[in-house]
A and B are shown apart, each in its own frame.
Chain A
């Protein structure tokens, strides 16, 4: 070490651990220690697997077949009973995972795409472009989400595709805000100046240099969006704007509103529990991810 101490204070090289891990490795190590988070991750993986297998037609193929009498209570053969048409509630519940997981995934992807794109452009370029984007998202956030959802499904018609788009188009604002703020903080940092000094253009600086540094926000947001979308599917189905002609937890819960008075509780139970577990898992996972990836957001 050849550096010369010039200040009156004695400055030493800060202590660093010999092998410093990257943020992601560190986060993964921390996540692995959190048993609850690992359980949540397992649940999410399991649900994804079920969704894929059901989409491929490997499991729950009999969801639309009559397997017994109407409204059979849960029994050994049909552990969650049957619905009005004598279809297995268990199979419907499993088949519905497909809708829920795809709604969560596609919605999250759409909202992240819009949020990251607009947020980073606003934060990076500033000026009029920024003001325009801020105006746009303030406008969108002033309109109650449910009204936008309704309007978009009116236009798109009912069904899965309309639902993806409606939920995706209405849920990007908070991420956009966060990304804008974070990009603003980063754009004047030394590493970005270094990048421009070697001749990187704006887009390269933004997408290659800055965005990886705000990626953790996206990851945290992803798990939040996912579960919000799953919950919203139920509301849309109740409003009659959900999926048509195939089972979903939303339509199952919607059906059950007429069944409860007759003592038929199993359809509500099945859909609620299936949804409860995966939403809870995403919430726990989201919290754990936030603690691991963004220590400053941590509620210690």
Chain B
């Protein structure tokens, strides 16, 4: 079986998953959620008003066609209009994507590189006090609430020291740096803990393999063994975990964006949650699920390309 066939088969499996995602969204928002008409009109609405709104929102149609609408939107990305802002949701997404990415991309790149460097370093000095301390610091960093980092960071660095701005995002260089820097730093701190822990385990799993002993018996130095033999093996799970994180960048960081006034997708989502804006919530859910499904296919395909051991069934 060749790789193209594998890719096609793997892509075909996206369809039942996507239908499943739409089914879950449909079930949660169209079947069991409280009636949107009631939410929009409040408690004192008359039956006639409710009927009109339901008709306007297309909620009087059969369930199956309501489900089909969601499926259709996941292919066309035509999500209709927001209930609260009345804007086309596609436009909201387009406008929100760039601000989200100005935070997400630098944070992701810095966090990934930093984590790989730190984890290789501690793996080289495995078992030492330095190694143990690093692992402990990682666990400790992960034990604080992300909200605590944000609140403390805003209060201390932005409010007390005045180094950064916390609202009024300006999408022009170089002003943008003072808006984006602090959320990026906080993101990196939140990400480095779990990443270092995972990468370190991956590297250490390789350290005790037989091929490492062979490499030593050839007379290779520990540095060459770590950076040539072990790293290439460890990169396979590491790259996999990096790629699969990418779809989560699309939603941006919900909390960070709302705290720092960045008009990105995360902020839009959060507003939608606060105002029970179902179409926007549904759109964001579909969007991130589609991204996740696509990237898990990419991950699987990459995996088979990078690892010579994997033979396709």
Contact = CB atoms under 8 A, between A and B. Distances in A.
> Is there direct touching of A and B in the complex, by C-beta distance under 8 Å?
yes
Contacts of A227: 143
B144 interface: yes
Interface in B1-31: 16-17, 20-21, 23-25, 28-29
Interface stretch (B53-61, B77-85, B217-225, B270-278): B270-278
**Interface residues of B: mostly helix, strand, loop or mixed?**
helix
Contact of A154 (B33, B254, B296): B33
B76 interface: no
Interface in A163-202: none
Contacts of A155: 28, 32-34
A299 interface: yes
A260 B142 CA distance: 23
A283 B32 contact: no
A147 interface: yes
A158 interface: no
Contact of B151 (A140, A151, A260, A299): A260
Given A135-B17, A142-B17, A299 B289 contact: no
Contacts, number: 119
Contact of B285 (A144, A253, A275, A299): A144
A20 interface: no
B204 interface: yes
Contacts of A239: 270, 273-274
Contacts of A136: 20
Contacts of B152: 268
B125 interface: no
A275 B145 contact: yes
B38 to A, nearest CB: 12
A279 B24 contact: no
Contacts of B173: none
Nearest to A261: B159
Given A144-B288, A260-B159, A139 B143 contact: no
B167 interface: no
A150 interface: yes
B201 interface: yes
The range of chain A's interface size is: 35 or more
A294 B128 CA distance: 23
Given A144-B285, A260-B151, A272-B148, A151 B29 contact: yes
B255 interface: yes
Contacts of B16: 135
A268 B148 contact: yes
B281 A150 contact: yes
B285 A256 contact: no
A151 B145 contact: no
A252 to B, nearest CB: 10
A262 to B, nearest CB: 10
Contacts of B34: 154-155
A283 B269 CA distance: 31
B302 interface: no
Given A280-B139, A299-B200, A300-B208, A143 B21 contact: yes
B147 interface: yes
B70 interface: no
Contact of B145 (A138, A231, A283): A231
B41 to A, nearest CB: 17
A45 to B, nearest CB: 18
Interface string A272-286: 100111011001100
A283 B144 CA distance: 12
Contacts of A254: 147
Contacts of A283: 139, 142-143
Nearest to A249: B145
A150 B143 contact: no
A139 B204 contact: no
A150 B24 contact: no
B28 A152 contact: yes
Contacts of A256: 151
Interface in A236-283: 238-240, 249, 253-254, 256-257, 260-261, 265, 268, 272, 275-277, 279-280, 283
Given A239-B274, A268-B148, 15 more contacts: A139-B20, A139-B23, A142-B17, A147-B284, A155-B32, A239-B270, A257-B151, A260-B154, A260-B159, A261-B159, A275-B145, A277-B143, A279-B142, A280-B140, A299-B200
Interface of B: 16-17, 20-21, 23-25, 28-29, 32-34, 139-140, 142-148, 151-152, 154-155, 159, 200-201, 204-205, 207-208, 248, 251, 254-255, 269-270, 273-274, 276, 281, 284-285, 288-289, 292-293, 296
User: Nearest 10 CB-CB pairs, A to B?
Assistant: A139-B20, A280-B143, A299-B201, A279-B143, A260-B155, A151-B28, A272-B148, A147-B285, A234-B145, A142-B289
17 contacts: A136-B20, A138-B20, A142-B17, A142-B296, A143-B25, A144-B285, A147-B269, A148-B24, A150-B281, A151-B28, A227-B143, A254-B147, A256-B151, A260-B159, A272-B148, A300-B204, A300-B207
